[in-house]
Amino acid sequence: MDNQSAISPLGASFQDGGIRLRIWAPDHDRAEVVLFEEDGKTERGRTAMAAEDGGFFSARLPAPAAGARVLYKFAVGGGGPFPDPFSRAQPFGVHGPSEVVRMDFPWTDGEWKGIAPEDLVIYEVHVGTATQEGTFEALITRLPELRALGITAIELMPLASFPGRWNWGYDGVALYAPQVSYGGPEGLMRLVDAAHREGLAVIIDAVYNHLGPDGNYLRCYTGRYFTDRYSTPWGEGINVDGEGARPVRELLAGSAEMWIRDYHADGLRLDATHEIRDASEPHILREISERARQAAGGRRIVVIAEDERNEVRLVRPVSENGIGLDGVWADDFHHHMRRAFAGDKDGYFEDFTGTTEDIARTLNAGWFYAGQPTVRSGKPRGTPPQQAHPASFVHCIQNHDQVGNRAFGDRLGGGVSPEAFRTMSAILLFSPYTPLLFMGQEWNASTPFLYFTDHNAELGRLVTEGRRREFQAFASFQGAEIPDPQAEETFLRSKLQYEEIDKPEHGGVRALYHDLLRLRADHPAMRARERGSFEARAVGDHGLVLVRRGGGKELALWVCLRGELRQSVGDSLAWQIVIATDERRYGGGGAEGVREGLVNGEVRLDGPAAVVIEREG
């Protein structure tokens, strides 16, 4: 079978007045559909499946009575039964029977056209900890305040069904079935429909580089889903370019298509794409992107990669020998900022200096490493990014990885002063690149985001031991008890506490985010995001200025990382303060010194601090 040949749909679907079920099990000579009673445990009957060319098997079932559920598994080669790898719902968890789902939700978003990449302000959300209820339905209640803040898109951490009651989502095993504890298929549809009513786009974090270890039944059907030609941090690679890999590619690309078509999602964030190896053409990432766009039916969507290689080909158009994605996470910015303000220097932070010169270089380019060797490896990393539009680069000062992969899940606010947090926030939101906020960042939430799982006892024990062993080598954690990922308390501690917003030290930060996002959305100089409309430069060892121009207007963000910054800006009558991070309304001590300095044509900052000033005319 050619890797690019079209294949008939896999899984369960309503067709011609009945249900069609189809699987790929080329390592077996027979297969059956196994039906279950409503309890999801009692077997109700079996139906033999007909063999097809290429290792496929199919069967047809009569349409169910109104209101009846169809719960099923597949038995292959005398083994099983196993859940459907293309299951649309797992109401009893990843080990239980799959459910046939009618995708006939009464959508109300017919006028929604999607969002342009240059208008993205992304808010990363873990559904299970974003509210006390931890559901799609509960998250709907938070949407109006996000839109009022200036957010334009929520990015939902992975939704594909995972084992247990809670998980980050990167252990997903059913790539077509929204997690039941979040609300399942209908709950997700209700959330997306509500988001569109609020004017918010919805991006779904999709994991196509591996499947979790618990509940992954692909090998029960065939070992051909995987290949030992490539290795990943999670084991063997996904076989997307080997002989007969078309059904494997369909598992991934069909999932991407489904999120866009059936759930009206506005985009995908593709996890760790550097671990998806494909030597064939077109690259699987291109196929995923193209299938997703076709499924959008004219709506504008975005496909964004998380990729550590700084490879501009990802966002280059297909017509220019690129992959054709819309964006890529560019973490060099985060790493320089953490080095500069928090002093992080272990691990990959060794490759970053945090100097004002290198921060300015990163702000001018989009990422820092563009082909020069890294400190740790001595090998070249990255490609020149200047040919890509600034909106293609997603920047952050914290995200789920940078918080949750710390031993105690401490957020940025736990490692820097309030003054530094406000300053870093101003740089992030003033820059021309696409900003990503991690939930709660807009009020400098104090709750941790810990690493949590709910695996079976044996796997859970190994996860806990591995997590604690991972941090034994760090001197700063000697003698400290790393939170147990398997403990319910670890999960519950990670839930946002919205009552914090009413406290002055948090409410002021939210006011700053609101004002910066309003400036970003409305000001002509901020709306201009093409290359040539902005410029960053270092001012001594501790100062930085980023200038934005557009619509006959000019804004300048002046930053002092530490110590004092005293810099002449010329005619005092030409400039006025727009936003100063030390304003009392933002939780600072007051910006009187900044105002006095500007009267005399001078920027005066005692760092860490930042000020946005505007030049008239």
pLDDT for position 468: 76
Question: CATH homologous superfamily of domain 11-99?
Answer: Immunoglobulins (2.60.40.10)
Q: What is the pLDDT of residues 317-348, one digit of tens each?
A: 999 999 999 999 999 999 999 999 999 999 99
pLDDT for position 617: 54
pTM as predicted: 0.96
Q: What is the pLDDT of residues 520-561, one digit of tens each?
A: 999 999 999 999 999 999 999 999 999 999 999 999 999 999
Contact assessment for residue 336 and residue 362, using Cβ atoms and an 8 Å cutoff: yes
Which helix (H) or strand (E) segment holds residue 361: the answer is: helix 356-365
Instruction: Give the C-alpha separation, 489 to 481, whole Å.
Output: 14
Q: What is the pLDDT of residues 269-309, one digit of tens each?
A: 999 999 999 999 999 999 999 999 999 999 999 999 999 99
* Average pLDDT, integer, range 250-265: 97
Which helix (H) or strand (E) segment holds residue 596: the answer is: helix 592-599
Half-sphere exposure of 456 (CA within 13 A, CB side): 9
Which helix (H) or strand (E) segment holds residue 598: the answer is: helix 592-599
Which helix (H) or strand (E) segment holds residue 285: the answer is: helix 284-296
* Average pLDDT, integer, range 78-104: 96
Tokens, residue 506: 């948090």
Instruction: Give the C-alpha separation, 296 to 314, whole Å.
Output: 21
Instruction: Give the C-alpha separation, 340 to 544, whole Å.
Output: 12
All residues at 6 or more sequence positions from 34 whose CB lies less than 8 Å from its CB, including other chains: 43, 45, 46, 72, 73, 74, 75, 80, 81, 97
Tokens, residue 405: 């992969």
Contact assessment for residue 253 and residue 260, using Cβ atoms and an 8 Å cutoff: no
pLDDT of 471 above 80: no
Distances (CA, A) of 167 to 418, 453, 455, 482: 30, 5, 9, 17
Q: Cα–chain-centroid distance for residue 532?
A: 29
pLDDT for position 478: 56
DSSP sequence for 432-452:
SSEEEEETTGGGT--S-----
> How is residue 397 annotated by DSSP?
S
The reply to whether 281 belongs to the active site is no
pLDDT for position 570: 77
Q: What is the pLDDT of residues 225-237, one digit of tens each?
A: 999 999 998 989 9
Q: What is the pLDDT of residues 115-156, one digit of tens each?
A: 999 999 999 999 999 999 999 999 999 999 999 999 999 999
Mean pLDDT over each residue of the chain, to the nearest integer: 94
> How is residue 532 annotated by DSSP?
T
Using only C-alpha atoms, the chain has a radius of gyration, in whole angstroms, of: 26
Q: Cα–chain-centroid distance for residue 275?
A: 16
Q: What 3-state class would DSSP assign to 488?
A: helix
pLDDT for position 16: 84
Backbone angles phi, psi at 255, to 5 degrees: -65, -45
**Three-state secondary structure of 296-358:** HCCCECEEEEECCCCCHHHHCCHHHCCCCCCEEECCHHHHHHHHHHCCCCCHHHHHCCCCHHH
Instruction: Give the C-alpha separation, 327 to 367, whole Å.
Output: 13
pLDDT for position 24: 97
Tokens, residue 467: 């997590």
Q: Which of 252, 161, 158, 154 is nearest to 203 (CA)?
A: 154
Q: How many CB atoms lie within 10 A of CB 103?
A: 14
pLDDT for position 599: 85
> How is residue 600 annotated by DSSP?
T
pLDDT for position 571: 72
Q: What are the residues facing 82 on neighbouring strands?
A: 74
Q: What is the pLDDT of residues 205-218, one digit of tens each?
A: 999 999 999 999 99
pLDDT of 479 above 60: no
Q: What is the pLDDT of residues 371-411, one digit of tens each?
A: 999 999 999 999 999 999 999 999 999 999 999 999 999 99
Q: What 3-state class would DSSP assign to 573?
A: helix
pLDDT of 449 above 90: yes
Confidence class for position 5, pLDDT limits 50, 70, 90: low
Q: Which of 205, 271, 344, 583 is catalytic?
A: 271
pLDDT for position 476: 55
pLDDT of 34 above 60: yes
Q: What 3-state class would DSSP assign to 410?
A: coil
In the chain, where are the structural domains located? 11-99, 533-615
The one-letter amino acid at 284: I
Q: Cα–chain-centroid distance for residue 165?
A: 21
Confidence class for position 243, pLDDT limits 50, 70, 90: confident
> How is residue 433 annotated by DSSP?
S
The reply to whether 306 belongs to the active site is yes
The one-letter amino acid at 81: P
Write out the CATH class of domain 533-615: mainly beta
Q: Which of 516, 412, 514, 523 is nearest to 146 (CA)?
A: 514
pLDDT for position 533: 97
Q: What is the pLDDT of residues 550-586, one digit of tens each?
A: 999 999 999 999 999 999 987 766 789 999 999 999 9
Q: Which of 205, 306, 331, 515 is catalytic?
A: 306
pLDDT for position 68: 87
pLDDT for position 370: 98
Instruction: Give the C-alpha separation, 199 to 85, whole Å.
Output: 34
